[in-house]
Structure 1
Amino acid sequence: MRDRDALIERLASAGDPLGAAVAVLGADLGSLLEATERFGARPSTRHARALVDLGGSLAARTPPVELVEGGTPARSWLRAGLLAARGEHDAACDAAASAAYDEDPELRSFRELFCARQLARASDAATRSRAWPHLRRAALAAIDLGTLLTIDRLRGKLAGDGQPSARLRIRLAVLGTPTLDLLAPAIRAACFGRGISAELFVGGYGLYQQELLGPDPRLDAFAPEAVALLIDGSSLGVADESPDPDAVVAREVERLGSLWRQAQERWNCTVFQSNFVVPAVDPYGGLSASLPGGRAQVLRRLGLELWSAAARESGVHIIDVDQLASVVGKTVWDDPAAWHAAKQLPGPRAVPTLAHGLAGMLQAAGGLSAKCLVVDLDNTLWGGVVGDDGVEGIELGDTPAGEAYVAFQRYLLSLSRRGVALAVCSKNDDAAARAPFRAHPEMVLGESDFARFIANWEPKPDNLRGIAKALNIGLDRIVFVDDNPMERELVRRTLPEVRVVDLPLDPAGFPGAVAGTLAFEMLALTGEDRQRAASFRAMGQLAAESSASPLTLDAFIDSLDMTVDIAPFREQDVPRLHQLVNKTNQFNLTTTRMSEVEVRKLVADERFYARSVRLRDRFGDHGLVAILIARHVPTELRVEQWLMSCRVFGRRLEDVMIAHAAEAALAGGAVMLTGVYKPTDKNGQFRDLYERLGFSLAREDADGSLLFTAEARAIAARQGPKVRVVAPATR
């Protein structure tokens, strides 16, 4: 025992005591266990891998080794390896889960992938199906290329075993100048983590122009819905110092713009164009940025001109690879060895960053971005526990950590200003939780910045469900931020749809942890986006008032003093109309997606009754919140698209819209209204909408689609809510 104590003390003086213990104590189980208890509170990914391997080697010992539950995370990893080697897959997964603490993304991904692999090895399909949530979370956290490739392979092997339905399916062609084969599986895995099933076409090395200008039978047969053009700045032939930089920039903008238009004409697709990374190494050094014709200045100018050109086009978006390269470092992004050996760009260590960046843009294009950030309070918005320390005792401002909490609050306030709803979910007495907002001089956020403020002692998953219900959003639109790893793990296990952020120990890293999820990525920012947070706050207030109001629901709705503006589609509204068509999932009766070009055509197409709806009430201006598109046919107005933002559910706005459509039908000589409901995973609550509005079921198809009909005169005569309608009832 004395020798063991001396050995442990010597290990304590090593630079990496746990790593040294794993390396030298494998044969001495007693000393190893003591070392894991002393040094194993915060194992790294490297430690976890080594402990799993070492645990596996213990399985062959006789007599059999038994490790009891409990102890440090390092002890749990050792036990997980032992159980995995014995084929006790469920128990191994539980042991790995018990190793959770304030992890970095790499260790989080390793742990989730370990659990997914264990469950995937089970003999029964029910257990194998439980691997999917772990695999998805592993993909979201993965920052290592090898991990992403493993996830993609396992995803393929598991396909069919209880695989959850994708939130979005897309055919993506990845074309460009470098070798792209290594990037493709990384993109698939990163998309999978976000609920996107991406089918990929990978272009040949440097063949993007030939493939776009075609003909290319393989690409035409693939018919991409999106094209990613990844073009390296070095392929443009920009000189060290260009004698006519204006001509270089104009030439490249015109060339790339023609390729965008060619792609859209052939496949009616969305185009994602990379900008250019300014090289870290340039023979002109700093002069490259200061000289008018310097390579760095030309590439930066070209990048800015591409942003402007993309803004003038429909369905073209810029992948900011220069910013992505700054995240990992340009010397990591531009790996000369990888380029010379395999024409690989970015370098292997930067591939995950590009894969996640592109997946985040596809998520935004598909309308899957998160809408609400739910935040804890103690040790999240401020340091300390307000219930114990009091308002004067919490850490906020003045100290380095206090300044970091202030910076995080500023970051959250900026998210709110661009349309993200904020909500509080804290285990606290309500009065204590609100006290810092009312009394601490360093608070940046106020109570009025939150759509919901929930401070109680109920389980946080229950409170998150309540927040989602009050705001009329799905749980998959919520991002949860909490400093407590136990609370995070509980939400992960109970509500796998919720995106949970792993916060670092240092609050200075909180903004980066949230930003790194890419959960709130957007491709454009409309006026309605800027109003959304205020609209969600109004919705939260509405939910609180309606639950406490003695009025009937209709009387309460009448008290909202609503003004509804129904107008034909307008050119200036096309970006918002396109956004609404492609991101609305709940009140969306057919869920037919449209490109921006297709939406724009409806502005002047007299064959359609195409109306947008804006709403104002006593809580504020909610902006453009609903769309109804119907086709004029002889004696009939046929509703083909009808959708509404979740922010304005429960106000009987649908009554107003269908009555206006009925009046327009009568004005145009139609006598009947028809509408279709096509079921999806998201719109089930509106299956009976047409019947509630006075329509009759005329037909049910094999795919579950329902056709409803009604006399236009009867619908126009129905009594709706008390609103002021600003709109002529014309075709």
Structure 2
Amino acid sequence: MSNIIKKVKCVVWDLDNTIWNGVLLEDSHIELRDGIVEIIKELDNRGILQSIASRNEHNQAIEKLNEFGLSEYFIYPQINWNAKSSSVKKIADSINIGIDTLAFIDDQVFEREEVKFTFPEVLCIDAEDIKDLLNMEQMNPLFITEDSKLRRKMYMSDIERKKLEEENTGTQEEFLASLNMHFTISEVGEGDLQRAEELTVRTHQLNATGYTYSYEELDAFRKSDDHKLFIAGLEDKFGSYGKIGLVLLECKSDVWTLKLLLMSCRVMSRGVGTIMLNYIMSIAKEANVRLQAEFVPTDRNRTMYVTYKFAGFKEVKEENGVVTLENELKYIPRTPEYIKVEFLETV
């Protein structure tokens, strides 16, 4: 398992004297900081989300961002008079990512210190250092995948879905059925390896072991007769969620062990979290083997333990911080009717 430095998932920008020169509510002439457009576009290309935490008048600031052609690059912008730490927390919660994966850029020492005091795990950056931003290791993903390039658009689709959900007057199942979801499972192909590695690095909340694997390790598992490596994708009427799940199975003659089960937190509310697990249970039963799963508790992944327990897994041992669970495969839940599930052959 690789030791990989944690990458930034979202950059939160201040506006006044950070994205632009000047103070919007005081200065008659506001202009963009040199090179800022190129930086914002390159972060977007790398799959790093961006938002705003600014003390400003909301409508006026959005109007100015529209004027500069930049508003589309920022999701869940927090433009208000609240503490910056409050805005940063709201952004992390809205995107559903750990606050320790955020970077905050501001020209004011006070604002950076206020965020740092409240959330020491946030990477705080002086606006004067923006010129070095793209060279920072935290801002350079190991790979830029197709999912990376589309990440902002995927999140913008999520915002549309949430609006529809809020307007829904029927049951949750009726809402999910209205999305026309299509869930796919396939063995990991060579073209999936970069995204597979990215998933292990980026996924913390819904990762049963917290393990991360390098491209080379995953490629070796893919080619191994003793392992199975599966990747899941999801799309609905709003578009693709991309590749959102990964499973690594160690396959011995009489027992298969789930070494890795993870699902992107973006699909947590879509009722698809157990579909991948149900599939593994089905093929294990068909192969007439015992099915075990490893679980390594972290400060974030208890949801995965609950997922295993609800699926009928029971603890059989704990050793060196690793909990081993086993499923007797007596009952495998049906796939919800509101989602189409398809196994795709690897190209």
Question: TM-score range, shorter-chain basis?
Answer: 0.7 to 0.9
Alpha-carbon distance in 1 for matches of 2:176, 2:123: 33
Alpha-carbon distance in 1 for matches of 2:297, 2:152: 29
Residue identity opposite 2:258 in structure 1: V
Contact 2:5 2:138 in 1 (8 A): no
Alpha-carbon distance in 1 for matches of 2:237, 2:16: 34
Percent identity (aligned): 25
Question: What is residue 69 of structure 2 aligned with on the other side?
Answer: 444
Question: What is residue 251 of structure 1 aligned with on the other side?
Answer: none
Deviations 1:639-668 (A, max 9, x none): 221112333333232221112222222332
CA shift, 1:450, in A, is 1.8
* Cα 1:582/1:515, change in 2 over 3 Å: closer
Alpha-carbon distance in 2 for matches of 1:542, 1:526: 24
Deviations 1:430-458 (A, max 9, x none): 322222234x2xx1313x32221222222
Question: What is the DSSP-based 3-state SS (H/G/I as helix, E as strand, rest coil) of the residue aligned with 1:648?
Answer: helix
Give the superposed CA RMSD: 3.0
Question: What is residue 424 of structure 1 aligned with on the other side?
Answer: 52
Question: What is the DSSP-based 3-state SS (H/G/I as helix, E as strand, rest coil) of the residue aligned with 1:586?
Answer: coil
Contact 1:565 1:725 in 2 (8 A): yes
1:284-683 to 2 correspondences below 5 Å: 366=4, 368-387=6-25, 393-396=28-31, 402=32, 404=33, 407-438=35-66, 440=67, 443-446=68-71, 448-504=72-128, 511-515=130-134, 517-543=136-162, 546=165, 549-633=168-252, 636-670=255-289, 672-683=290-301
Question: What is residue 695 of structure 1 aligned with on the other side?
Answer: 312
Of Structure 1 and Structure 2, the greater helix share is in 1
Contact 1:410 1:444 in 2 (8 A): no
CA shift, 1:604, in A, is 3.5
Structure 1 window deviating more from structure 2 (531-540 vs 422-431): it is 531-540
Identify which of structures 1 and 2 has the higher relative contact order when contacts are C-alpha pairs closer than 8 Å and 6+ apart.
2
CA shift, 1:367, in A, is 5.3
Deviations 1:410-431 (A, max 9, x none): 3212211221101122223332
* Cα 1:369/1:652, change in 2 over 3 Å: same
For normalisation by structure 2, the TM-score amounts to 0.86
Question: What is residue 215 of structure 1 aligned with on the other side?
Answer: none
Contact 2:24 2:30 in 1 (8 A): no
Question: What is the DSSP-based 3-state SS (H/G/I as helix, E as strand, rest coil) of the residue aligned with 2:137?
Answer: coil
* Cα 1:699/1:665, change in 2 over 3 Å: closer
* Cα 1:713/1:534, change in 2 over 3 Å: farther
Question: What is the DSSP-based 3-state SS (H/G/I as helix, E as strand, rest coil) of the residue aligned with 1:653?
Answer: coil
What is the number of residues matched between the two proteins? 346
* Cα 1:461/1:552, change in 2 over 3 Å: farther
Unaligned residue ranges in structure 1 (runs of 5+): 1-224, 226-269, 271-364, 397-401, 505-509
Residue identity opposite 2:325 in structure 1: F
For normalisation by structure 1, the TM-score amounts to 0.43
Question: What is the DSSP-based 3-state SS (H/G/I as helix, E as strand, rest coil) of the residue aligned with 1:424?
Answer: strand
* 2:300 maps to 1:710: no
Alpha-carbon distance in 1 for matches of 2:83, 2:201: 34
Deviations 1:527-561 (A, max 9, x none): 22222232333344545654565454444433333
Question: What is residue 240 of structure 1 aligned with on the other side?
Answer: none
CA shift, 1:372, in A, is 0.4
Query: Could you say which structure has the larger radius of gyration?
Result: 1
Alpha-carbon distance in 2 for matches of 1:673, 1:550: 41
Residue identity opposite 1:469 in structure 2: D
Deviations 1:665-720 (A, max 9, x none): 233234x533221112342343312123x2142335265543333343522x3343
Residue identity opposite 1:677 in structure 2: F
Unaligned residue ranges in structure 2 (runs of 5+): none
* Cα 1:696/1:515, change in 2 over 3 Å: closer
Residue identity opposite 2:111 in structure 1: E
Question: What is residue 727 of structure 1 aligned with on the other side?
Answer: 343
Alpha-carbon distance in 2 for matches of 1:666, 1:618: 33
